[in-house]
Amino acid sequence: MAIYHLSAKIITRAKGQSVIASAAYRSAGHLHDERLNETFDYTRKGGVEHTEILAPPNAPSWVHHREALWNAVERAEKRKDAQLAREIELALPVELGKDEQIELLREFTQRSFVSKGMVVDLALHRDNPENPHAHLLLTTRDITAEGFGAKRRDWNAKAALLEWREQWAEIANAYLARAGPDIRIDHRTLEAQGLDLVPGRKIGVSLERQHRPGLPHRVADRVEEQRRIAHENGERIIADPNVALRALTHQQATFTDHDLAKFLHTRTDGAEQFRAAHLKVTTTKDLVVLGRDDRGRVRYTSREMLEIEKAMLERAGEMTARSGHGVDPRRARAVLSQHPISLEQRTAFESLTRRGDLKALVGVAGARAHRQGRRAVRHRRGESPARLRDRRPHPCEPRVRLGGPARTAHGSRCARDR
């Protein structure tokens, strides 16, 4: 199941860190630090399956060479406590393949960082199939054709981090919707999502290593704290199994036995509490058995989710029957005259732009008709409850197939429906 994780930290000399060492480790590379006159060789590190450097178009060509880039960063900083780089760590959806994960990372990186003037050193790690993740090293100064310029303190603002967190959820959800799985991630806190669970603690070491003797004290303390959190969450689930059902259906409308077990495994402490929580969830009257999917797995949902989707479908049916908002035919013809398209694309375009309060196009993301539909809709007068946006639709919005019955695009709970 896809999870949301985006964390940010600063690589700084105040902690004795070298950005050359950081870049070498994350890229599994061999880099020489000119300031320290030291070479860092991590070429034997496994699991690093893709690396690349993305930069603004005005950046000099040498920024695409990792060793030259980060040595230039070191030279630009004079203070002994200088902030050298910012690292963004991201959890990638396991439902996406490697190529899709790379495209997702590129789009997020380009939109959130490169477009603002940052150079980004990207590394995709897939050493654990259950935990694909990426490390992004970001520069902290303006970049010009001559090199690095002034320090950008505004990139340290909390508002910037909140914006990046929201953008990651938005772009990742668009890729998940394109790939097909009925799953979404949410950048908000558990409290903001209405989930009565305690947030887990990031430990930073594998589960296998957590059980080995001789852990550093700070890591052992985090492991013990996570156990206390898991125990408390387990008690909350046993007291009210709807806590688990809401959390599961918040990300996907239906789930399997495997999804439930995986969810409870990280939110209970030990086999006894796991069995007690599992029994409570599987025997509650609010659990609905839907039957077997095309892979033979039993699928479940919650009674609450069924009511939410029923209400969404009823609203979609009402909107489909109305013949409000449409695109001015003259504007639609003007757009069509500028861009040659196929008969099939024209049919879809005309269906979308004629009068009606609820329209959607089900097809390949990025198709020419989709782009033209967005251009025409920019000139639409008025506001439709299900207007087409100049971006991908929110996964919680109801949609219909052209000429078909209404259905939900995602099935997950939306904040505005709670």
- SS percent in the chain: helix, strand, coil, step 5: 45, 15, 40
In sequence order, what are the beta bridge partners of 288? 301
As given in the structure block, the two tokens for residue 206 are 């594998």
Q: How far apart are CA 148 and CA 78, in angstroms?
A: 13
- 133, 90 contact by CB (below 8 A): yes
pLDDT of residue 205: 56
pLDDT tens track, the chain, 418 positions:
677 889 999 999 999 999 999 999 999 999 999 999 999 999 999 999 999 999 999 999 999 999 999 999 999 999 999 999 999 999 999 989 999 999 999 999 999 999 999 999 999 999 988 889 999 999 999 999 999 999 999 999 999 999 999 999 999 989 988 887 667 887 877 677 776 677 766 665 555 666 667 677 777 777 788 888 889 999 999 999 999 999 998 878 899 898 899 889 888 988 899 999 999 999 999 999 998 988 888 999 999 999 988 998 888 888 888 877 778 888 888 888 888 888 888 888 888 888 888 877 776 544 444 444 444 444 443 433 333 333 333 333 333 333 333 333 333 333 333 3
Q: How far apart are CA 266 and CA 132, in angstroms?
A: 17
Q: Which domains does the chain have, with CATH numbers?
A: 6-179 (3.30.930.30), 207-304 (1.10.10), 322-417 (no CATH)
Query: How far is residue 41 from each of residues 26, 181, 208, measured CA to CA in Å?
Result: 11, 39, 26
Select from 107, 88, 85, 87 the least CA-distant residue to 96.
Answer: 107
Question: Residue 67, Cβ neighbours under 10 Å: how many?
Answer: 17
What's the predicted TM-score (pTM) here?
Answer: 0.62
Question: Residue 142, Cβ neighbours under 10 Å: how many?
Answer: 16
pLDDT of residue 363: 62
pLDDT of residue 147: 93
Query: How far is residue 74 from each of residues 32, 116, 324, measured CA to CA in Å?
Result: 12, 21, 60
In sequence order, what are the beta bridge partners of 166? none
pLDDT of residue 211: 63
